[in-house]
Amino acid sequence: MPFSSSISSMQGAGIRRLLIVSGDTDWHQQVIAEILPTLRSPLLWVGESAPQEVRSIAPHLAKGLLGQELGHVVFNAAAGFHAEALAAVLGAMSAGHWLILLVPDWEQWDSQPDLDSLRWSEQPEPIATPHFVHHFQWITLEQPEIAIWKKNSEKEIPALKPRPEWLRPNGLPTTEQTHILHALLNDKQPINVVIGERGRGKSTLAGMLAERVKGKCWVTGPSKMATQVLLQQGDGVEFYAPDALLEQCRQQAPKGIDWLLIDEAAAIPAPMLRELIAFFPQVLLTTTVQGYEGTGRGFLLKFCASLPSCRTFFLDLPMRWAISDPVDSWLKSLLLFDEPQEPQVEAIEFQSKKLSQSEWLSCPKTMCDFYTLLTSAHYKTTPLDLRRLMDGVGNHLYGSFAGDVIAAALWMVDEGGLDEPLAKAVWAGERRPKGSLVAQSLAAHGGQWQAAALCSRRISRIAVYPTWRRQGLAKSLVISAIQQAQEEGLDFVSVSFGYTPELYHFWQQCGFELVRFGTHLEASSGCYTAMAMLPFNAHSRSLLDKLRLRLRRDGYFIQEKLKLQLPVEVVKDLSLNHDDWDELHGFAYFSRPLDVSIYALIRCADKLSNSVDAYALKDFLNEGNNIELLCKKYNISGRKALISILRKAVSDFIKHSEK
């Protein structure tokens, strides 16, 4: 069998290879039994059914492999295809090793339910994913160096095309790294960012910088394991977890620290990152622009662009494998990781049209262009979104085209339609079924259970190529989609976005009204979440009126808390209206969270009787919601016990008021 002899040629060429084993469980076990003895280096098994002697992890833990280097990998995708886990594993695999991918029978795969769909589909049961399967098969068959072993077929390994001998990295800086190190050491700038794909030597570069600087370096990152490559390279550098480091810096500004090195910076919440870098004279941030996390693009678009001074470097050449690595090429094509090339087309007229998921089969290039355009403009887009876009239920896709070239893309998803008992359970804080982001938020946080019962459609993503911005394409596309939703008899359309005045103005121009404003910064964008809706009928207009009034009244307290002017007229109203009484009942007798009911509690605080429980609630509000302080003062065991006391105080107030 030529399998073992293939490994030496792979090592010489600096590449990894892919073997797809397609068939039933018995076939998978038979092939694995033949292969295992020939794989000499440590083997990692991802997924179920691993032999006892083989190290294994569940797919959802694959992100923890960040910063490690792997040998051969068996990836069991027979029951479900976890795309992010696959990307994480391949980012850590080094040259000279095989990826053995177990998949269902090639001919029947497209009709088989995919257990992974339970993560991204809003359906209660696993669904088949024919569009992803056909895309997988089409991309795979385009790669002649991939081996596919089907049951009852010959087990052949395709010949490799000629490649030059690979020069394995020898520990010295590459040409790219040398250029960046020279700039960092000689042309001092306070904030520096190094961006590149997986395996490009970003962490190694940071370690080389730590070795060469004369002063002292501190290191932080999403986990100590993720920074192992950096720590091994840089001798004597100290690692701190991001939250612990920030707390330490707040208490006492660091002295004598010349550099802060932040590995995989995009995985750290932007507000924390922004505060951290202000404490250090020079900072190097490394991050991945494209990959399974879906955060690097937003890091470049949002975070770096928001800094007053930021110097950016790019690492393009791989270090863990050769440029011609067939697995790298296959993965980029499969998960559409390549950055889109902005079309060089002059256009005056644009045509808007609705797309369907079936076009992944009939017009795959159009749909690939649609997805990569969304990816280029949104920090949140991940392989999970690709799966949802291809096979999720309730998608509505629109594109604006200059000829056959896509200029703008819009993705909407159906929401709501819950039966009344379930919608009320969402309001009560007792249930939170999958999906319906805005509809359920308006029920759970906005206090209006009807929002989850009405049928709505949410704008999930929208993007326009920079060349064609400021020409009304996005607005035109949104208005067309709104008209179709209204014609279909929906109750309203909605959108959730990271608030900026410019974005709010755009949605306002499209007819949307603000109905909710979050008080916590989004981890990646560093913006507060805003939600807006556009009603179509009397039911949704009534909902809008209630939400609008609530935002006006709660907005007074939100402005005080955030020190931010809301884009709506707020009013200081300490009276208890019908909405407040509903909120108080929900807090006292159901499971509505404390932070959701807080403004109704503020309004009722000065109306409470003088009981111990009432004093606890008043103290809680006066002490800036400091739960730890209140627990000590009242000798309470913890948050749960404190909230029980607060619920009792409100319950007593309601009973007293009803007399």
User: For residues 409 and 398, is the Cβ–Cβ distance under 8 A?
Assistant: yes
464 annotated as ligand-binding: yes
Distance CA 67, CA 626 (A): 38
User: For residues 150 and 23, is the Cβ–Cβ distance under 8 A?
Assistant: yes
Phi, psi of 438 (to 5 degrees): -75, -45
User: Strand 492-498 to strand 455-464: parallel, antiparallel, or no bridges (unpaired)?
Assistant: parallel
Q: Which two tokens stand for residue 530?
A: 């805003």
Q: Which residues contact 564 (CB under 8 A, 6 or more apart)?
A: 528, 558
* Sign of CA pseudo-dihedral 570, 571, 574, 579: negative
Q: Which residues contact 39 (CB under 8 A, 6 or more apart)?
A: 71, 72, 98
48 annotated as ligand-binding: no
Neighbouring C-alpha atoms within 13 Å toward the C-beta of 446: 30
177 annotated as ligand-binding: yes
Q: Where are the alpha helices (DSSP H) in 67-171?
A: 83-92, 117-120, 130-141
Give the Å distances, CA to CA, from 138 to 81, 143, 348, 386, 401: 16, 9, 35, 16, 25
* Sign of CA pseudo-dihedral 307, 312, 316, 318: negative
Q: Which two tokens stand for residue 135?
A: 């895309």
User: Strand 43-46 to strand 55-57: parallel, antiparallel, or no bridges (unpaired)?
Assistant: parallel
627 annotated as ligand-binding: no
User: For residues 621 and 602, is the Cβ–Cβ distance under 8 A?
Assistant: yes
Count Cβ atoms within 10 A of the Cβ of residue 465 and give its class: 0-12 exposed, 13-18 middle, 19 or more buried: buried
End-to-end Cα spacing for the chain: 87
Count Cβ atoms within 10 A of the Cβ of residue 447 and give its class: 0-12 exposed, 13-18 middle, 19 or more buried: buried
The interaxial angle of helices 270-277 and 242-251, nearest 10 deg, is 40
Q: Which two tokens stand for residue 571?
A: 């009013």
DSSP helix/strand/coil, 560: helix
Distance CA 401, CA 605 (A): 57
User: Strand 528-535 to strand 492-498: parallel, antiparallel, or no bridges (unpaired)?
Assistant: antiparallel
342 annotated as ligand-binding: no
User: For residues 313 and 219, is the Cβ–Cβ distance under 8 A?
Assistant: no
DSSP helix/strand/coil, 216: strand
Distance CA 303, CA 525 (A): 7
* Sign of CA pseudo-dihedral 102, 106, 110, 111: negative
Per the annotation, binding residues for ATP are 177, 320
Enumerate the known binding-site residues: 177, 320, 462-464, 502
Task: Please state the residue numbers annotated as binding site for acetyl-CoA.
Answer: 462-464, 502
